[in-house]
Structure formats: C-alpha cells, structure tokens
Amino acid sequence: MATSTVGQRRPSAAGLRNVPARAREWVSRAAGAEGHERHTLLLIAKSTLAATLAWVVSYDVLDAGSPAFAPFSAVLIMHVTVYQSLVQALRYVAAVALGVAVQAASGLLGGPDLATFVLVTLIALALGRWPALGSQGPQVATAAFFAFSTYAAATTRAAKAEQLGEIVILVLIGCGIGVAVNVLVVPPMRYHSAEYGIRTLAHALCDLVSDMHPALRDGAPTDEDTRRWRRRAEQTGELVTQARSGLRTAQESIYYNPRRLLRRHRGRAGFDGYGAVLDALERTLHQTASLTRSLDQWHEDRKDHRHGPFLASYGDFLASVARISAVLGELRESALPDQARELCGLADEAQECRSRVAERAERDALPLADPTRPYGVLLVEATRLMEEFQHTCDVLQCHAER
C-alpha cells in the first residue's frame, strides 16, 4: 500500500549535510568553555565509566544472574550535583529494598500466581506514594515487578531467596560506584548557575524597559505598546522559576563536593548574596509589571501635552534602570568588585532621575491620588524600584569586599 507523504516534512539534503557541521560546533563549544555542552559531555562520559565499572563488577567478578541491575543503578543516580547523587542513591536503594521485600513477603503467603501479582502490585504502588522516597517512589513497583519475575523463574526456595537478595546487592553496588565516580571524577560545581539565573532576569528587565523608555520620552505610547509591555512583564514568572532552580543547583553543588576545598573554589561557597540579588530582581519585575498595568489601564488621551514632560522624565528614569539591569546582565564573580562600584554609581544617577520625576509631578500639579490615572502608581513603583536596586548594590558591594 502506498503511503501518502502529504503534510510530512522530510529533512532536506542541505539540512542533512549540516549535521556534521553542527556536531563539530557543539563539540567545539564543549571543548572551548564551561557551559551546558561541556556539562552534558562530562555527564555522559562519567555515566559511561560508572556503568562500565558496575558491569565488570557484577558480571565478571560476581557472575551475577541479573548483572544489568548494577550499571542501570549507576547511571540512574548520576546527577548534576554530588548532593543529589547521594540523596537519590539513598532513596533508590530504599525503594528497591521495599519492592523486593514486598515480593519476598508475598511469596511466603502464596506462589507466583496472578493473585499474588495483584497483591504485590497493590502494595508496591501504595508504598511508592511515600513522600520520603521523592522521585524514586515509582521504583518500588518497578523493583517489585522484576523481583516477581525473578522469583517466578527460580526453581527452589533457596534459589528464590538468593535471587531476591542479589537484586538488592547489585543495586547497592551500582549506586556505590555511581556516587564514587561522581565524587572522584571531576565532581560537578555549578556555581555559575546562580550567576546565569541573575543574568537571565536582568536581561529580561533590560529588554523590557529599553523598549519602554523611548516611547515614554516621546510622550505618547500607543495602546498596542502598553499591551505588549504588560504581556511581556507578566510572562517573566517562568524565568524566575528557572533562576531559582539554578540557584538551588549552585547551592547544592558545594555539598559533599571535594572540589570546594581547592583554592580557586573556596570563595564560591557563599550564595547568600546571589540569593538576595535574585529576590530583589524578582520584586523588581513584579513592580515593573505593576507599572505596565497602570499604563495599559490608562484610558485618558496620552497625547495630551500636559502629560508629556512627566512621561519624558519617567522615560529618563527607565533609561537609567536599563543601564543598571544591563550591568546585572553581565554579572560575573571574577569582575564583581568593579561591577559593584559601577552599579553604585548608576544607582545614584537613577536616584537623581527619580527625584526629577517627583519634582516634575509636583511642578505640574498632577493628580497623584486619582486612581484612574497612573501618575501616583508610577511614582510609587519608581521609589520601590530604586529601593531594590540600592539594596542590590549594597549586597553586591558587601559580597565583593569579602
């Protein structure tokens, strides 16, 4: 029967020819600098080493009947941080032990028939919901299924007990080898994850206010402009979540990690400063979202000449915010002292711009208390933004002086 190709996209010849070039570029990035590509390549290499060692021990040394359990376990607990490898190894071993124990107990009550399988499945799935097992909870049922299969294949009661015990031993061997390789072979340090999260949020803020301040300086942002600003400001929640995940990874990467004892990593252990900066940036994005909502809900004629000077002053203030966020977008611990001094100077300039905005509102007698107009909200958010940026500068200055 002929198969229709309508609507199916086939890779072009040019696209296929570009595959080797893209692969070489990926390898070049991995070799050239520390980043996602290098981390991925290193994790693959370490997983391969751990799996190979586990296979040799289980198959060649112990002559186990199910040697694949060891390399599978070694790869499963190879995580991006030593801490996570240890935690997940303990949870995985506990899950497997529970699964095997369920089968062992059920095997004493009945043979390897359908009723026993149903009972094993029910109990294993219930135990897998135990919060202490975390993401390894489903492994209880997986281990129970493998144990049931092994139990059913064995011919004698002694062989059944031996096979079930072997599963737990192989999992312990695999987890032990996996953790050892992760600890001893280039143990992962992810302190750059904290910097990357801050840079991502700062870039998002810089891009947004850089789009806003030219239109405000012109004094007449359109409805389309304000809707676009508001939509962009409200879409930063996922970036905040990713940044916090990066910070947690950076913090976890130093736990039980022998590399932190090296001279060049001793200063990397404190992430309190980065956490404070991340908190400040998150609040700053919320405040920016608030002012974009105020502008978008402002239905008064924005082209009225009475609004022009105030909006132009506010545009100058947002331009100063863009300069601050641009520096935060390039944050690097190696350059932190110079960047902290630059940020403090930019914060002083932004504070002056904010003062001019307040003076302009007072000079023009703008209705700051009128909830239908954005002037009051814009002034309040400008003050809050400056408080956050000043706090950020102080935190980074203190961190740089350690």
For the stretch 208-242, pLDDT in tens is 999 999 988 887 688 888 889 999 888 888 888 88
pLDDT range class, residue 12, cuts 50, 70, 90: low
pLDDT surpassing 70 at residue 17: no
pLDDT higher at 212 or 33: 212
Distances in Å between the Cα of 65 and the Cα atoms of 55, 156, 163 are: 12, 15, 8
Percent of the chain with pLDDT over 90: 32
379/252 Cα distance (integer angstroms): 40
Tokens of 31: 């070799």
Tokens of 319: 């331009």
pTM exceeds 0.95: no
The stretch 53-60 carries a mean pLDDT of: 95
CA 62 to chain CA mean position, Å? 40
Residue 78, Ramachandran bin (φ over 0: left; ψ between -120 and 50: alpha; else beta):
beta
* 97 and 113 Cβ atoms separated by less than 8 Å: no
Beta strands in 67-110 (DSSP E): none
pLDDT surpassing 60 at residue 33: no
Q: What confidence score (pLDDT) does residue 125 get?
A: 96
Q: What confidence score (pLDDT) does residue 269 get?
A: 38
**CA-wise closest residue to 142 among 160, 124, 164:** 124
pLDDT surpassing 90 at residue 57: yes
364/263 Cα distance (integer angstroms): 59
* Residues counted in the chain: 402
* 377 and 294 Cβ atoms separated by less than 8 Å: yes
Q: What confidence score (pLDDT) does residue 1 get?
A: 44
* 139 and 97 Cβ atoms separated by less than 8 Å: no
The rounded mean pLDDT for the chain is 82
Architecture of domain 192-255+266-400: Up-down Bundle (1.20)
CA 330 to chain CA mean position, Å? 19
pLDDT higher at 260 or 282: 282
347/187 Cα distance (integer angstroms): 39
171/167 Cα distance (integer angstroms): 6
CA 1 to chain CA mean position, Å? 48
Q: What confidence score (pLDDT) does residue 268 get?
A: 44
Using N-to-C axis directions, what is the helix angle for 114-127 and 138-153, rounded to 10°? 150
Q: What DSSP state is assigned to residue 9?
A: P
**DSSP secondary structure of 213-259:** HHHHHHT---HHHHHHHHHHHHT-HHHHHHHHHHHHHHHHTTTT-GG
pLDDT surpassing 80 at residue 360: yes
Distances in Å between the Cα of 358 and the Cα atoms of 162, 217, 293, 386 are: 80, 16, 20, 13
pLDDT surpassing 90 at residue 306: no
Amino acid letter for position 180:
A
Give the dihedral sign, CA 391/396/401/402.
positive
The stretch 253-277 carries a mean pLDDT of: 63
Q: In the chain, where are the structural domains located?
A: 36-184, 192-255+266-400
pLDDT tens, residue by residue, 98-123: 999 999 988 777 777 888 899 999 99
pLDDT range class, residue 52, cuts 50, 70, 90: very high
The stretch 77-89 carries a mean pLDDT of: 87
212/228 Cα distance (integer angstroms): 10
Burial 48-79 (b: 16+ CB within 10 A, else e): ebbbebbbebbeeeeebbbbbbbbbbbbbbbb
The stretch 310-326 carries a mean pLDDT of: 91
Q: Is 155 exposed, middle or buried (0-12, 13-18, 19+ CB in 10 A)?
A: exposed
pLDDT tens, residue by residue, 148-197: 988 888 878 888 888 899 999 999 999 999 999 998 888 776 666 777 78
211/319 Cα distance (integer angstroms): 10
Tokens of 277: 């900066």
Using N-to-C axis directions, what is the helix angle for 192-218 and 272-296, rounded to 10°? 30
pLDDT higher at 126 or 245: 126
Q: What confidence score (pLDDT) does residue 6 get?
A: 42
Residue 82's SS3 state is: helix
Q: How far apart are the first and last CA of the chain?
A: 74
* 277 and 389 Cβ atoms separated by less than 8 Å: no
